[in-house]
């Protein structure tokens, strides 16, 4: 869900070049990527809307890093049930991986915005291989494999 929302919000910034040298928005071929008119409005709305997923990641970081230790100590069951979607997949002590996965997913969405095809592939590979190595080394999952 997070990836699809972020991808939709970044649609005005995903442009493709045509043989005549002009750039258009991939999803809307009638809109030129020139920062004027319709594209300017789309870019402003898309840029402002990108604050929502960034805010969600910031709130998740605050919940996991600051609030969770305090609420665990005070045995706040209501809070734990309400925020369990963030940390119940992970073993105790590895809750930060929920935030790391959100950041990874946001970076995966940003890869297609790079202009060169090889840059897109290299960026995606670095992110996914780095994530794989991190998970393989730390084994954050609750159930042992």
Write out pLDDT tens, residues 82-131: 999 988 899 999 999 999 999 999 999 999 888 888 999 999 999 999 99
Instruction: Name the token pair of 72.
Output: 């665990």
DSSP 8-state secondary structure symbol assigned to residue 67: I
Are 43 and 53 spatial neighbours (Cβ–Cβ below 8 Å)?
A: no
C-alpha 39/C-alpha 28 separation (Å) is 10
Could you tell me the pTM of the whole model? 0.82
The pLDDT of residue 145 is above 70: no
Mean pLDDT (the chain) is 90
% of the chain with per-residue pLDDT over 90:
51
Over residues 51-77, mean pLDDT: 93
Are 18 and 26 spatial neighbours (Cβ–Cβ below 8 Å)?
A: no
Size of the chain in residues: 145
Are 81 and 75 spatial neighbours (Cβ–Cβ below 8 Å)?
A: no
DSSP 8-state secondary structure symbol assigned to residue 143: S
The pLDDT of residue 5 is above 80: yes
């Amino acid at each position: 869900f997070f990836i699809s929302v972020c991808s939709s919000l970044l649609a005005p910034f995903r442009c493709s070049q045509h043989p005549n040298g002009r750039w258009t928005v991939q999803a809307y071929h009638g809109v030129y990527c020139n920062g004027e008119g319709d594209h300017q409005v789309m870019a402003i709305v898309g840029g402002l809307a990108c604050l929502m997923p960034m805010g969600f990641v910031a709130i998740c970081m605050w919940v996991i890093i600051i609030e969770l230790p305090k609420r665990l100590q005070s045995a706040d069951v209501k809070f734990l049930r309400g925020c369990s979607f963030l940390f119940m997949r992970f073993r105790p002590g590895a809750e930060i991986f929920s935030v790391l996965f959100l950041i990874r997913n946001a970076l995966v969405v940003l890869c297609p915005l790079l202009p060169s095809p090889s840059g897109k592939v290299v960026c995606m590979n670095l992110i996914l291989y780095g994530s794989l190595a991190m998970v393989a080394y730390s084994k954050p999952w609750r159930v042992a494999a």
